[in-house]
Amino acid sequence: MSTYRLTDAERRTYLRYAGLALPRHTSYPIAPLWRTDYGPARFRDDLGRVPVPGGGLSLYVHIPFCERLCYYCACTKEIVPPERRRQLDPGESFLDGLALEAAQVAGTLGGAEARQVHLGGGSPTFLTVPQLLRLGGILRRHFRFAPGAEAAVEIDPRITSREQLEVLRGLGFNRVSLGVQDFDPRVQRAVHRTQPVEVVARAVEWCRALGFASVNFDLIYGLPFQTLAGMADTLEKTLALRPDRIAFYRLAVIPDIFRWQNVFRPEDLPAGELSLELNLLAINRFLGAGYEFVGLDHFARPDEALAQARRAGTLRRNFQGMTTGAELEIVGLGPSAISQLGAAFAQNVKASHAWRQAVAGGLATERGLRLTPEDRLRRELMQQLYGYGVIDKRRLGERFGITFDEHFAAERRRLADLIADGLAEEDGRHVRLTAPLGRLLVRVVAAVFDAYLPADAYRAGLPAHLSSKVG
């Protein structure tokens, strides 16, 4: 077992780079660069190019509704309190729209097999039991599911019943992700998400009893009032519940976009050395408990599918974080849903009422991007760097018909600065992140190879028009 410890010199280097506004590269090119002239017609053309037979799909369904607003949240959601829902439940009209969209997308695809399904949000378990059953029927009616398909659902333990989990399991869902964030009551109050550990433990018990193969926890560091002692307690309670997979994200504070984050006072947010110590504490506790470190911010037990995918070379980084199924085409359904195809990205309109109007007459694509050969080359480079901490020069060269050292000559000159600072190493075959410093600062190394960023972004961060949108 390796331990993540920094020397004093490495700490100074980390702090010099860690505050830069840089992308997390959940896509390449990053989403703020996608174009509004990519609309339904272009997306339909690109869907029609998905290979059938032999093509595999990862279906993503975005269910945007939540009962309460969590102040850390950067997802597309619509808050529908119980009293408002009693007057008009948006679930039925959402499912009406989903049925229309699924029929159009499936008709364009022409029979590609769904090997993954992911319900995200929002809170998918906002939907009632009858609505979940209807949702499952819509997907099964329009898409051909592979035997043993990986089917995952995000749940809010505060509003999820055992009956909902029973229905989801009966529909074939076999992986569940619980929003946890932090167990400290003071932190929970500050982020407007009161969720006692007993509520989470009950949901985990139900999931285990019902036979879900994998349970994931989402945790966040950088939240108001987090301390080392409080984080240690959260980690102890997390490990006692033995999740199979853990996502440990750093809070993205972008109040210009997520205006509800203006409730956070800068003096209450951990920064600098404390933020680093929170991250190192968690990494070392997870490693010590037998988890493998996967990508930028994910951990998995050695026998879990994510760890197996890392060993098999089939990891992917996307808007769901680190996932399996690198060979699959992601097709998004629902408001704001993102599709990631071999040669394109596409995103639906965000507001549910506008999405419903759009799917009544066609596809709901609002923006996207058709990738150039250079984009595809650099996207694969980013996948290698974030997923495995190494760029295989020969593999990229053979796949894309380039000589790496010549093609990336300008990037390698900038990379020399980061090599001198101890973030990376280079030889004739590889560019490799150092551990732990380079692994912790992978975004800095990735910025060197992002052709859409200023050449000095790895030193200075992003310009104002992008720095508020990097998330």
Say if CB 222 and CB 275 are below 8 A apart: yes
Amino acid letter, residue 372: T
pTM of the model: 0.94
Look at residues 136, 16, 123, 143 and name the one whose alpha carbon lies nearest to residue 78: 123
Whole-number pLDDT of residue 321: 85
Q: What is the pLDDT of residue 183?
A: 98
Quick: pLDDT tens for 354-387.
999 999 999 999 999 999 999 999 999 999 999 9
Q: What is the mean pLDDT of residues 228-255?
A: 95
Q: What is the DSSP letter of 35?
A: B
Instruction: Classify the phi-psi angles of 39: left when phi > 0, otherwise alpha if psi is within -120 to 50, otherwise beta.
Output: beta
Each residue's pLDDT tens digit, 420-429 = 999 999 999 9
Task: Give the bridge partners for 369, in sequence order.
Answer: 345
- Judged against a pLDDT cut of 60, whether residue 160 lies above it is answered with yes
For 318-357, the pLDDT digits (tens) are: 888 899 988 899 999 999 999 999 999 999 999 999 999 9
pLDDT at 187: 98
Pair 181, 225: CB distance under 8 Å = no
Is the pLDDT assigned to residue 256 strictly greater than 90? no
Decide: 223 and 190 in contact? Cβ < 8 Å.
yes
Q: 68 falls in which pLDDT band (50, 70, 90)?
A: very high
* Dihedral over Cα of 96, 337, 129, 195: its sign: negative
Model pLDDT, residue 296: 87
Answer yes or no: is pLDDT of 306 > 90: yes
* Residue 442: both structure tokens together: 């992978």
Residue 193: both structure tokens together: 């998400």
**Which positions ≥6 away from 260 have C-beta within 8 Å?**
69, 71, 73
Maximum distance among all alpha carbons in the chain?
A: 66
CB 53 within 8 A of CB 111: yes
Average pLDDT over residues 122-144: 97
Domains of the chain: 34-369 (3.20.20), 372-467 (1.10.10.920)
Q: What is the DSSP letter of 191?
A: T
Are residues 339 and 44 in contact, defined by beta-carbon separation less than 8 angstroms? no
Tokens matching residue 200:
């989470």
Distance CA 164, CA 270 (A): 37
Is the pLDDT at 271 greater than 90, yes or no? no
Contacts of 406 (CB under 8 A, 6+ apart): none
CB 220 within 8 Å of CB 181: yes
The mean pLDDT value of the chain amounts to: 94
